[in-house]
Amino acid sequence: MCGIVGYIGNRDSKEVLIEGLKKLEYRGYDSAGIAVFTDNGLEIRKSKGRLAMLEDKLKNEPIAGSVGIGHTRWATHGKPSDVNSHPHTDNSSKFSVVHNGIVENYLDLKEELSAKGHIFVSETDTEVISHLIADEYHGDIVTAVQRAVKRMRGAYALGVLTEYEPTKLVAVRFASPLVIGIGENENFIGSDIPAILEYTRNVYILNDGEMAVLTRSGVELMTTNGDIISKEIFHVDWDLVTAEKAGFEHFMLKEIHEQPKAYRDTMMGRISEDGKSVVLKEIGMSNEQLRGISRIHIVACGTAFHAGLVGKTVIESLARIPVETDVASEYRYRSPIITPDTLVIVVSQSGETADTLAALREAKRNGARVLAITNVVGSSVAREADDVITTWAGPEIAVASTKAYTSQLIAFYLLGLYLAQERGMAQAQQVEEIVAAMHKLPEQVESILEQAELFKTVAEAMSKHDNLFFIGRGLDFAVAQEGSLKLKEISYIHSEAYAAGELKHGTLALIEDGIPVIALVTQEDLYEKTLSNIKEVKARGAHVLGIANAGYEGEVLKSVDEVFSIPRTLPLLTPALSVVPLQILSYHASLARGNDVDKPRNLAKSVTVE
């Protein structure tokens, strides 16, 4: 998730671009750059690091002109570095491109263009776009962009400039957001409204397959097929802070709603077109090495550890490799048995968590191969691991992790299938069935989100209690642990997650009249056993909210006080759905208690101390 901005008018474009990028820094911040038409032609300044680094560079190497494009990067293809930063250009330096999204077929395009003599300097997919546009250019930039995007697969929002037509700024969108700001004798592009809100409140919101040609005096809208279209102007009446959160009250709520996109992005390019196999090109292990893995350790902290608990079941049931899970702060102190055929999987949203990094180093010191699942390309964990599966959740701002957790689950599903497939444990038909169900998950999450308001009243009632329990069996217990952590960290209500069958061995003594219990009942093979455990707490006065699969809610309601149903999927995939109501519940409980949802007390987003 990167941020793009563009300007064409009479102001100093550099000022507009930098101000716009500041508003977009929350979308990514590992490097930034701008391209501006100057008296010397198209000039580019870019720099690794925060935007402030680019500003410093601009002091030493000023740039002036009234047309330009800018970018703040959240690395996807290629580590954060000056050369991988946007804008990218072609070999003639006559074309410049900023891009948000992922071009899935960039390697094929790169190969084809290389054969024609194009020379690439970066590791990015975006550089391919600038070369492709240059290759398709025969005197008209609009046609060149249209021809180029027809050859690209994936997601993109683009801002394009060419020195041959310096009075035009071309913008195009597919599956990545892009808005056009309308001014007086000036026009703007932005990947989000905040980028341009200081200058105009009138915008066109582009849909997939639409493009805009901006000049100083106007904006022409068309489809990528070249059909001219007209659109209503959207007048923005939000303030800047609301706009940064895309209209949501908090980043956490925005990120909960971004989960369908995070699922799609994390799956994108990792499933074969026929849906019969998983393609994890990022894993550099040979088939022999994959077959040689005798055990797996999953190591992580907090929410990432909870994703690992699901990962254990997924890998064990699909690939039949024994898996142990450890919290990273304990791992290296228990002298884990690590052999050369142990695969250690570290999971970390930030890729900077000190304990996780120390566990990774311990594993490597002992000769294990380390695979990282992380959300931040170029993070310490990503750099030091042998193989990396990146979760494409985009930057997570709220301290309470939501979309990073669920994208980690998607990564585990992909990995479990891949290991099973490569080790000959899964038939194409089984992979196909799971993959088909995975493709449905984003829509199923959307349907849960549509009912989010239902949780307000339940959460308000819950917020009046000081103690609460989550129970479940099997994968439901793994999700219960994440639900409990979410609630604790933002609502400050004490809660405990228990394996439903374990309560009677002591903890049942804490159940008293009116205590809320959230019971996950989604694992159909364990369904009756969990209902018996629910009856145990009900008999002692608990007020039970059940989370059940659609079709089972009527039956479950006979044993609980309230029930919320989630769409049906394969049992292994249920965590990717059942956690969503728990996230929403925690959010509303925190609000009801008047807490700072995005920045809970005593916590930091990235824990870089041991």
The set of catalytic residues is: 2, 605
Least Cα distance to 1 among 394, 355, 375 occurs for 394
According to the 3-state scheme, what is the secondary structure of 250-301? CHHHHHHHCHHHHHHHHHCCCECCCCCCECCCCCCCCHHHHHHCCEEEEEEC
Residue 187 binds ligand F6R (CB under 6 A): no
Token readout for 70 is 């800018």
Q: Which range binds ligand F6R by CB under 6 A, 130-138, 227-235, 347-355, 458-466?
A: 347-355
Taking the complex as a whole, the smallest distance from the CB of residue 378 to ligand F6R amounts, in Å, to: 14
Please say which residue, 265 or 489, places its beta carbon nearer to ligand F6R.
Answer: 489
Q: How far is CA 279 from CA 341, 343, 409, 418, 422, in A?
A: 22, 19, 17, 7, 10
Radius of gyration of the chain (CA): 25
According to the 3-state scheme, what is the secondary structure of 111-178? HHHHHCCCCCCCCCCHHHHHHHHHHHCCCCHHHHHHHHHHCCCEEEEEEEEECCCCCCEEEEEEECCC
Out of 176, 348, 391, 463, the residue judged to bind ligand F6R by CB under 6 A? 348
Residue 303 binds ligand F6R (CB under 6 A): yes
Residue 444 binds ligand F6R (CB under 6 A): no
Please say which residue, 257 or 543, places its beta carbon nearer to ligand F6R.
Answer: 257
Residues 473-502 vs ligand F6R: string with x where CB under 6 A? ------------x---x-------------
Q: Which range binds ligand F6R by CB under 6 A, 279-287, 349-357, 451-459, 543-551?
A: 349-357
Alpha helices by DSSP H, listed for 450-526, are: 455-462, 475-491
**Which conformational region is residue 194 in: left (phi greater than 0), alpha (psi within -120 to 50 degrees), or beta?**
alpha
* Residues facing residue 470 across a β-bridge: 497, 518
Please say which residue, 22 or 257, places its beta carbon nearer to ligand F6R.
Answer: 257
> Do you find a cis peptide bond into 87, omega within 30 degrees of 0?
yes
Taking the complex as a whole, the smallest distance from the CB of residue 346 to ligand F6R amounts, in Å, to: 9
Out of 31, 266, 401, 444, the residue judged to bind ligand F6R by CB under 6 A? 401
Residue 400 binds ligand F6R (CB under 6 A): yes
Q: Distance between CA atoms of 308 and 503, rounded to whole angstroms?
A: 23
Residue 325 binds ligand F6R (CB under 6 A): no
Please say which residue, 132 or 301, places its beta carbon nearer to ligand F6R.
Answer: 301
Out of 109, 283, 301, 363, the residue judged to bind ligand F6R by CB under 6 A? 301
Q: How far is CA 496 from CA 116, 438, 486, in A?
A: 62, 30, 11
Taking the complex as a whole, the smallest distance from the CB of residue 503 to ligand F6R amounts, in Å, to: 25
Could you count the other beta carbons within 10 Å of the beta carbon of residue 167?
11
Q: Which residue is nearest to ligand F6R (CB)?
A: 302
Residue 407 binds ligand F6R (CB under 6 A): no
Residue 357 binds ligand F6R (CB under 6 A): no
Residue 259 binds ligand F6R (CB under 6 A): no
Residue 43 binds ligand F6R (CB under 6 A): no
Q: State the residue for tokens 């939501």.
A: 402
Please say which residue, 204 or 470, places its beta carbon nearer to ligand F6R.
Answer: 470
Q: Which range binds ligand F6R by CB under 6 A, 79-87, 295-303, 458-466, 496-504?
A: 295-303
Q: How far is CA 168 from CA 142, 193, 213, 530, 609, in A?
A: 9, 21, 7, 64, 50
Beta 154-162 vs 95-103: how paired, if at all?
A: antiparallel
Out of 76, 350, 530, 586, the residue judged to bind ligand F6R by CB under 6 A? 350
How many residues bind ligand F6R (CB under 6 A)? The answer is 15
Out of 146, 176, 353, 569, the residue judged to bind ligand F6R by CB under 6 A? 353
Residue 380 binds ligand F6R (CB under 6 A): no
Taking the complex as a whole, the smallest distance from the CB of residue 367 to ligand F6R amounts, in Å, to: 24
Please say which residue, 54 or 309, places its beta carbon nearer to ligand F6R.
Answer: 309
Q: Which range binds ligand F6R by CB under 6 A, 128-136, 223-231, 343-351, 441-449?
A: 343-351
Q: What single DSSP character describes residue 505? A: G
What does the angle CA 322 – CA 323 – CA 325 come to, to the nearest 5 degrees? 160
Please say which residue, 224 or 375, places its beta carbon nearer to ligand F6R.
Answer: 375
Taking the complex as a whole, the smallest distance from the CB of residue 578 to ligand F6R amounts, in Å, to: 17
Token readout for 513 is 């009249």
Could you count the other beta carbons within 10 Å of the beta carbon of residue 423?
17
Please say which residue, 353 or 549, places its beta carbon nearer to ligand F6R.
Answer: 353
Please say which residue, 318 or 485, places its beta carbon nearer to ligand F6R.
Answer: 485
Residue 406 binds ligand F6R (CB under 6 A): no
Least Cα distance to 375 among 403, 347, 411, 349 occurs for 349
Q: Which range binds ligand F6R by CB under 6 A, 23-31, 101-109, 222-230, 300-308?
A: 300-308
Q: Distance between CA atoms of 399 and 62, rounded to whole angstroms?
A: 37
User: How big is the chain, counted in residues?
Assistant: 610
Q: How many CA atoms lie within 13 A of 148 on its CB side?
A: 34
Taking the complex as a whole, the smallest distance from the CB of residue 19 to ligand F6R amounts, in Å, to: 30
Least Cα distance to 469 among 493, 488, 506, 497 occurs for 497
Residue 311 binds ligand F6R (CB under 6 A): no
Please say which residue, 126 or 303, places its beta carbon nearer to ligand F6R.
Answer: 303
Q: Which range binds ligand F6R by CB under 6 A, 108-116, 296-304, 453-461, 523-531?
A: 296-304
Residue 508 binds ligand F6R (CB under 6 A): no
H/E stretch holding 107 reads helix 106-115
Q: Distance between CA atoms of 113 and 99, rounded to whole angstroms?
A: 19
Token readout for 570 is 């394969």
Please say which residue, 204 or 405, places its beta carbon nearer to ligand F6R.
Answer: 405
Based on DSSP, count helices (H) and strands (E) in the chain, helices before strands. Answer: 20, 24
Residue 356 binds ligand F6R (CB under 6 A): yes
Chain centre distance of CA 603? 21
Q: Which range binds ligand F6R by CB under 6 A, 80-88, 130-138, 346-354, 497-505?
A: 346-354
Taking the complex as a whole, the smallest distance from the CB of residue 356 to ligand F6R amounts, in Å, to: 5
Residue 289 binds ligand F6R (CB under 6 A): no
Q: Which residues form the interface with ligand F6R (CB under 6 A)?
A: 301-304, 348-350, 353, 356, 400-401, 485, 489, 606-607
